[in-house]
Amino acid sequence: QGLLDLRPDAFQDPIVARTYSDERGLMSRLALLQVSERARIRTALARIDDQAEHLFDQARSTHRHITEGASAISRQRAETEQTASAINEMTASIQEVAESVTANAREAEQANRLAHQGSDRSGEALTAIEELVQRVHSIGESVSQLGESTRTIGEAADLITGIADQTNLLALNAAIEAARAGEHGRGFSVVADEVRALAQRTQQSTVKIHEVVADFRTQVDTTIAAVRSGEELAGNGLSRVREASDSLNTIVGSVDSISDSFITMSAAFEQQGQVSEEINQQIVNIAGLADQSDDQAESARQSSDELSEQANGLKDLISRFISRNG
């Protein structure tokens, strides 16, 4: 009766108890209690076995998912390492290109400075040639005026020659008249001879003047021709220097544009290099997170394996218990 009192919730119907035992009364009820408790234990064990089986399936599924996740993480880590390697190579290439662009920018700056110096020298040469052209032109004008003066001297010499001819003729006529006058015209004859001698010397001097003027005019004409040729050459040189100056100015503008482009490119490559470094750092961080995830996945896989082993152990324990108490 004490055992029955310990389990007041157990199934203890006396009529049903007689179907499980030949005894009557308390013994049949104890037999029924034993049967019902054994059935209850089997039911509980069956439920535990079902839960253990479900737990084992979940552990196995979790293990499979963890394994797949670990494989994905490993692939991701490998791809991340490849990406990091590619970005490192790209960063190195960008660095090389940036260094080349920087060197070209320095060379372009040097070329720009030389081009500006050449443009300045060209401007100075242009100014000097313009002054030379003006001076040559002034010399030409002066020589032309000298030629005009030479012609004036020649005309004056011609006038003197004419006067000397007339003076010589008048002196000759005076000598003839003095000879006719006889003794009274002797003084006039002496004067006429002196005047005629002076006229002849004047004619000789004017001839020499004409010769000198002719030679001088020849030299002046030669000088004028040389000055005109020099003026033409100076004009051609001026045109060429102007063309060279225009070309240098064009080159200066082009070199300025190239220098600005190199400076812009250098800044862009520098910024791109910084972005690549940032991306590389982010990939390194991702790789670190992947390593952490891989470690966590390995820990979870070990826990899943342990859970599977425990579930299998529980199933084996239940099976042995049921087989022993069947």
Residue 58 sits at the vertex; the CA angle it makes with 56 and 59, to the nearest 5 degrees, is 60
Q: Residue 256, class by beta-carbon neighbours within 10 Å (0-12 exposed, 13-18 middle, 19+ buried)?
A: middle
Say if residue 21's pLDDT is above 60: no
- The residues spanned by each domain of the chain are 2-324
pLDDT-based confidence at residue 309 (cuts at 50, 70, 90): confident
The yes-or-no verdict on residue 169 having pLDDT over 60 is: yes
d(CA 234, CA 58): 104
pLDDT tens digits, one per residue of 27-68: 555 666 666 667 677 777 777 777 777 777 777 777 777 777
CA Rg value for the chain: 67
- Asked if 321 and 45 count as a contact pair (C-beta separation under 8 A), the reply is yes
d(CA 238, CA 249): 16
Instruction: Please name the residue ranges forming H helices in the chain.
Output: 2-6, 14-18, 26-181, 186-324
User: Please, are residues 168 and 203 in contact by the beta-carbon 8 Å criterion?
Assistant: yes
pLDDT in tens, 109-127: 787 787 778 778 777 877 8
Whether the CB-CB separation of 210 and 157 falls below 8 Å is answered with yes
Q: Is 10 helix (H, G, I), strand (E, B) or coil?
A: coil
- List Cβ neighbours of 62 (8 Å cut-off, separation of 6 or more): 300, 304, 307
Supply the pLDDT for residue 120. Answer: 80
CATH of domain 2-324: 1.10.287.950
**pLDDT reported for residue 3:** 45
The gap from C-alpha 293 to its chain's centroid, in whole angstroms, comes to: 43
Mean pLDDT of the chain: 73
